[in-house]
């Protein structure tokens, strides 16, 4: 009986106390170290993303600027190429017109004769180029040299193109006249002349010519020099450079 009374009293006390107690909310747990690291990492990534975005914008703007410059350059090149194409077209038309005019004109007849000038011929006639060195011109005092025309020029050739040159530097000898000729039938000769003057000077003087001469039957080219022999720096050359 006494135990039941004590148990009932204990239950009543617990009931009364439960009505008077006010439950307080539990505090939020403090962020762990992992969360702090993630937030720091997130902030770093966001900062890096902003930097990359700014860099991308700069690169895109640079690409736009480069494209505009290239477009301007291409436009200028197109204009330049267009001008060159027009000039080329006009030049071709002018060349074609001149060629038609030349082809429509009658060819000049060949004139054969002798003297100091070349034999006048048909400038448009076919000819063959050769390189045949025949040595130097004589020095002077009426010296006369005879050069054989090599077999590279056939007997069927009508004319030979002769090149002769003379150069004088610091040299004594005064005025010279050089004669290049071939002997024709009947003892006649066809020739051309070069003139040179030897004198002491700090420089060089030159004279040269290319002349068509008749092809001689004896296949001889005659070289002759009138004047006091040269003494000093000088040189000369005679060549056959073509035939027809």
DSSP characters for 195-237?
Answer: EEEEB--SS-EEEEEEEEEE--TT-EEEEEEESSPPEEEEEEE
**What is the predicted pLDDT for the residue at 112?**
43
Comparing 33 with 147, which gets the higher pLDDT?
Answer: 147
94 and 186 inside one domain = no
Say yes or no: 94 and 158 in one domain: no
Among candidates 159, 144, 162, which has minimal Cα distance to 240? Answer: 162
Task: Please tell me the distance from the alpha carbon of residue 166 to that of residue 59, in angstroms, as a whole number.
Answer: 70
| Residue-range definition of the domain harbouring residue 183 | 128-243
Query: Residues 6 or more apart from 17 whose CB is under 8 A from it?
Result: none
Q: Which of 171, 163, 184, 151 has the alpha carbon at shortest distance from 240?
A: 163
pLDDT at 96: 78
Contacts of residues 59-65 at CB distance under 8 Å and 24 or more positions apart, as own/partner, are none
Mean pLDDT, rounded, for 57-83:
82
What percentage of the chain has pLDDT greater than the value 90? 33
User: Do both 220 and 165 map to the same domain?
Assistant: yes
Instruction: Specify the number of domains making up the chain.
Output: 2
How confident is the model at residue 104, as a pLDDT?
67
Give, in degrees to the nearest 5, the angle at Cα 76 between 72 and 82. 145
Is residue 123 pLDDT above 70, yes or no? no
Would residue 19 count as lying in a domain? Answer: no
């Amino acid at each position: 009986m006494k135990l039941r009374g004590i148990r009932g009293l204990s239950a009543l006390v617990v009931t009364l106390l439960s009505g008077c107690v006010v439950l307080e909310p539990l505090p939020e747990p403090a962020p762990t170290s992992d969360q702090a690291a993630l937030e720091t990492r997130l902030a770093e990534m966001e900062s890096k993303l902003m930097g990359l975005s700014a860099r991308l914008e700069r690169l895109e703007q640079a690409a736009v600027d480069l494209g505009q410059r290239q477009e301007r350059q291409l436009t200028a090149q197109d204009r330049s190429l267009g001008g060159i194409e027009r000039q080329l077209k006009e030049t071709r038309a002018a060349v074609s017109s001149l060629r038609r005019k030349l082809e429509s004109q009658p060819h000049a007849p060949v004139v054969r004769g002798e003297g100091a000038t070349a034999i006048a011929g048909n400038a448009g006639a076919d000819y063959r180029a050769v390189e045949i060195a025949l040595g130097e011109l004589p020095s002077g005092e009426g010296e006369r040299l005879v050069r054989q025309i090599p077999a590279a020029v056939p007997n069927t050739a009508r004319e030979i193109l002769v090149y002769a040159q003379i150069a004088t530097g610091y040299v004594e000898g005064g005025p010279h006249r050089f004669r290049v000729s071939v002997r024709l039938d009947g003892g006649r000769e066809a020739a051309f002349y070069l003139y040179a003057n030897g004198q002491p000077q700090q420089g060089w003087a030159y004279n040269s010519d290319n002349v068509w001469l008749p092809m001689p039957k004896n296949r001889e080219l005659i070289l002759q020099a009138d004047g006091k022999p040269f003494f000093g720096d000088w040189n000369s050359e005679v060549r056959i450079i073509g035939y027809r």
